[in-house]
Structure 1
Amino acid sequence: MLAAQRQELILEQVRRTGGVRVADLVESLAVSDMTVRRDLDVLEHRGSLRKVHGGAVAPEGPRTEEPGFEAKSTRQEDEKHAIARAAAGLVEPHSAVGLSAGTTTALVAEYLADTPGLTVVTNSLHVAEVFHRTARPDQTVALTGGFRTPSDALVGPLALASIRGLNLDTLVLGVHGMHERAGFTTPNLMESETNRALVEAAATLVVAADHSKWGTVGISTIAPLDRCDVLVTDSGIPDAARAALSERVGRLVVTDVRPRTEQG
């Protein structure tokens, strides 16, 4: 296979899933580790991707670029399921939990659907749909009002009025990016304001973010890293990021990623 053909296959996978691992490319392309790394160097030089420890991710877009829910839902699927399962395990039965909008938090809702006695507050149409579908009589779900964003979050004055004055045991927060200086960020100013209100309402903040979010900076900061009590991410997180996060967040949980058929 010619180098140009390999590189196009690599880019196709990055576009489809949001990231690639060197080890996976070595196996799927039947080439050496060094060959894959040279291809990644070439593609990074062109601005087609961004190298991270052990692989590469899609290049960082403009700070206000906001992909839709469906586009984001196909990225890092196995990682998000592993993270969501671990994050859901941090929520106690019979507690008040907030779930922000996002593809990972929508999966957290799936894993919480059978948890007894929950009171759920969310500004996510997808999260509310999960609990509406399962309809446990011992669960209460409050969906904020508000304007709908591209990520299907409800934001604005109605959402803020619904959240302010609440006292949540735990908030599971999904983010667009996380950065050592900028903290946890989003590309949507109104969504940032709503998420900050959720953070203020929560006794414990759990952030659920896969490795591709590291180094990405949206226009608005939701919270600094040290506000996070537990960060749940996956084993693709670079070593330098692990070190930085371990120093700043209360607790770092790194999940092992397996195909969903093996996750149970």
Structure 2
Amino acid sequence: MVQYEVLTDIGKKRTVNEDSAAVYTHPDGIILAIIADGMGGHQGGDYASSTAIKIIGDMFLKLDSSEFVIKEHWFEWLKEAFIHVNQLLFDYANENEELKGMGTTLEAALIHGHSCLVTHVGDSRVYAINTNGVSQVTRDHSYVNALLDSGEITEEEAAIHPQRNWILKAVGSEKHIEPDLHSLDLDDETYLLICTDGLSNKVGKASMQQIILSDRKTLHEKAQTLIDLANQKGGEDNISVILLGPASEVNTP
């Protein structure tokens, strides 16, 4: 997994882009991909998402290579990074009245060879995509998912539920946070898609798979096609995509 594309779009209805996305490459070749969808007003949402990504990216680039020898250390580092950012944002919001209530979703994927560790808070998503299908790695921390888990609504009802965008957990919005941790193996045929809900609310799994597995598009074109499709279907929210492809993926026209 060495090829990647990062794209973010304001969408068709918003006046400010509160999403942030970045990919960092450590000198030892380890990749950290991060995406965030801020909330709490224009000023607060933008600050929360961009600050979270910058802080974690800076922490990652300063790591000694010995930190990556044992996989358990990866999880420990990712979790502590999320907790650190959460505390900083929470404290800053409490010190600045205009930023009270701000927070951000946060997805981070740490990739070394075929190993991938994912840390997750909120309702942005990580998908693994290959010819076998589309697997959603993360599970939304949302009101609708809580209803699904309790059996109160069906998958079909969840898709159109009026509160489907209500999230129950965000970085910076509460004093303590416990991120979800996931581990997966990425073979040479699998793509990793990290996106905000501006994409996942508009583009279904079948369309994702068709676009991403197309051999007629570069990695950039695939990511752009996903964003274009979300905009064609309304584009009510900011749309951000990180698409990571196999080493054989061509990324230039």
TM-score normalised to the size of structure 2?
A: 0.29
Q: Pick the structure with greater CA Rg.
A: 1
Q: Higher helix proportion, which one?
A: 1
Larger RCO (CA under 8 A, 6+ residues apart)? 2
TM-score normalised to the size of structure 1?
A: 0.28
